[in-house]
Amino acid sequence: MKVVVNQNNCIGCGACESICPEVFQINDEGLSSVIAKEEDFTNHEEEIRDAVDSCPTSAITEEAEEVKEEE
């Protein structure tokens, strides 16, 4: 699972951060950033779904696991 915030859509309302501060944090520009690592996504899946549902601008996208090449 992977979570992305589209900062072009984010209005910085803070809802995602209050639902799941382990994953979302309002950055210096007042927009939400994803601060979590991949294992945190799995641990907080439920809150992330809540945040996706609660985002007023649908800026948060939840994506299925991608095949990732890491070296």
- Report which of 66, 68, 62, 3 is spatially closest to residue 34, judged by C-alpha positions: 3
Instruction: State yes or no: residue 52 binds ligand SF4 (CB under 6 A).
Output: no
Q: What are phi and psi of 18, to 5 degrees?
A: -70, -30
- Indicate which single residue of 20, 23, 32, 48 sits in contact with ligand SF4 (rule: CB under 6 A): 32
Q: What is the size of the binding site for ligand SF4 (CB under 6 A)?
A: 15
Instruction: State yes or no: residue 59 binds ligand SF4 (CB under 6 A).
Output: yes
Choose between 18 and 42: whose C-beta lies nearer to ligand SF4. 18
Instruction: State yes or no: residue 16 binds ligand SF4 (CB under 6 A).
Output: yes
Q: What are phi and psi of 59, to 5 degrees?
A: -80, -15
How far from the centroid of its chain's Cα atoms is residue 24's Cα? Answer: 5
Find the largest Cα–Cα distance for the chain.
Answer: 37
Residues that bind ligand SF4 (CB under 6 A): 5, 10-16, 24, 32, 55-57, 59-60
